[in-house]
Structure 1
Amino acid sequence: MLGILGAADEYNNAGALIGLDATDNAELLGALRKMNPIQRQRTINKLSNTGHPSRGSRSEMEKHFSELPQYIKDGLSKGDLRLADTVIYSIKLANSKTVKMFETQDDRQIGLRNISNAKLPKNQALLVSGVILLAGVSVDQTPDNIMSTNFAALENIPALATGETDLKANKKQIFPETSNAVFKTTNFHSVPLGYYKLANPRLILDDILIELTVQLGTVNGIAANTYLYAGLHGTITTP
């Protein structure tokens, strides 16, 4: 496995990527002994040369490599998978006090959501670095008009801004019921509109049910064709 470290050059902690974090690790030492001198030196150089440190959600993702399943680690080390920035999103009608942004009956449809069945595709793992929540009023409930809706800050619809949002993956809390006030970022010019940065980013693995729920205390003042846009921003493994 160490002989293909060239595929891991884009990662700054190649040892963690292949599951060999410490220089006294018996598995690492055993693998090094089996290499010819040139191959051994090249491998040591790759493990010790961190290059420029990663930033943002990529840096956060690298801290969670140890939590990845072995088949995803193998795909990353071989170059079959790579890391990419992404936003997993879904648009849903805000017509009740409980709005489930990802549901098992959902199908992927460009402009409405980019995953099916409220799960990531096979071989994809997402480190959620932040959550986006926006709202807009569509002309009607036809898909084309929903997709062309202007999504803006929750400040424009007070009943949405006073609600709460929580995020779970496989029934485990990523963040508990949190006031939607955290998405009111209109006056924060260094923060994207409707963006809530997680202090403790969490990993969501493939084939795990994603549950992002918006709870409202009232629907007063919410227009009939009001839609919510929810996005999970972070770093994902992808082919």
Structure 2
Amino acid sequence: MIPLLEGIEDYNNAGALIGLDATDNNELLGALRKMNPIRRQRTINKLSSTGMPSRGSRAEMEKHFAELPSYIKDGLAKGDLRLADTIIYSIKIVNSKTIKMFETQDDKQIGLRNISNAKLPKNQALLVSGVILLAGSSVDQTVDNIMSTNYTGLEGFPALATGETDLKANKKQIFPETSNAVFKTSSYHNVPQGYYKLANPRLILDDILIELTVQLGTMNGIPNNTYLYAGLHGTITTP
């Protein structure tokens, strides 16, 4: 099964993220000036409320806020955008030694992937906190059976576990070729199944090509109709 991860609720510390106490934040001040007085006060009240301390990938997002483009910062300041934890995912068949989990010809389809063309939608930026890699053998290649396959850890797929995975965004490497052994987490009770936590979380911006590639040394012993589930877990900006 797909692991449950901490938090899918909205970000709860917007004031800290936007930097409300920074009086020289021209982007924020400009956005506030454009609002009518009532909406301006409501926005200030909302941003001023620190609420619960941020945690997990949302706390990591705070550290990377300066890297967000101005139009996304502006959308957050106006309240047109918010932050929420998410998993960007894709399912692909293992029919060769090279499996590209996100491709430009992909269409969004619930149960198979939740982005199109290997890119985030406009105004979305994702801080990748961790990567999930699971596998499962479907009854056949019909869509319903692929979506209803039980995806589990790589422990039961030795040829997949000895492969390598790398992640790039706009040709820039987020993590290099890494042994798939890092996704064998069934013996770690404090880590979700198949979850690899990035030591250095990285931002992926909208309209940037996402490339997550799995390379295998052998396909020996891999059952027919075996599929990989890959997920990018983190915090995203969303309407």
TM range (shorter): 0.7 to 0.9
Match of 1:39 in 2: none
The alpha carbon displacement at 1:216 in A equals: 0.4
Residues 13 and 52 of structure 2 are in contact (CA less than 8 Å); yes or no, is this contact kept in structure 1?
A: no
Instruction: State the SS of the aligned residue for 2:14.
Output: coil
| Alignment partner of 1:102 is 2:105 | no
In 2: Cα distance, 1:214 partner to 1:72 partner:
31
The alpha carbon displacement at 1:15 in A equals: 4.6
Unpaired segments ≥5 residues, structure 1: 1-7, 35-41
Match of 1:37 in 2: none
Match of 2:216 in 1: 216
Taking a change above 3 Å as real, the CA distance of residues 73 and 174 of structure 1, as seen in their structure-2 partners, is same
Match of 1:170 in 2: 170
In 2: Cα distance, 1:26 partner to 1:84 partner:
23
Residues 12 and 54 of structure 1 are in contact (CA less than 8 Å); yes or no, is this contact kept in structure 2?
A: no
Structure 1 segments of 4 or more deviating over 4 A?
A: 20-23, 42-51
In 2: Cα distance, 1:111 partner to 1:226 partner:
16
Taking a change above 3 Å as real, the CA distance of residues 54 and 224 of structure 1, as seen in their structure-2 partners, is same
Identity between Structure 1 and Structure 2 (%):
81
Match of 1:70 in 2: 70
What one-letter code is carried by the residue in structure 2 that aligns with 1:230? Answer: A
Match of 1:60 in 2: 60
Instruction: State the SS of the aligned residue for 1:13.
Output: helix
What one-letter code is carried by the residue in structure 2 that aligns with 1:11? Answer: A
Match of 2:114 in 1: 114
Instruction: State the SS of the aligned residue for 1:111.
Output: coil
Residues 106 and 117 of structure 2 are in contact (CA less than 8 Å); yes or no, is this contact kept in structure 1?
A: yes
In 2: Cα distance, 1:144 partner to 1:222 partner:
21
Taking a change above 3 Å as real, the CA distance of residues 47 and 138 of structure 1, as seen in their structure-2 partners, is closer
In 2: Cα distance, 1:77 partner to 1:9 partner:
14
Match of 1:130 in 2: 130
In 1: Cα distance, 2:46 partner to 2:141 partner:
54
Residues 43 and 78 of structure 2 are in contact (CA less than 8 Å); yes or no, is this contact kept in structure 1?
A: no
The alpha carbon displacement at 1:10 in A equals: 3.8
TM-score if structure 1 supplies the norm length?
0.84
The alpha carbon displacement at 1:63 in A equals: 1.1
In 2: Cα distance, 1:44 partner to 1:117 partner:
37
Alpha-carbon RMSD: 2.8
Match of 2:157 in 1: 157
What one-letter code is carried by the residue in structure 2 that aligns with 1:13? Answer: A
The structure having more radius of gyration, on CA atoms, is 1
The alpha carbon displacement at 1:74 in A equals: 0.6
What one-letter code is carried by the residue in structure 2 that aligns with 1:131? Answer: V
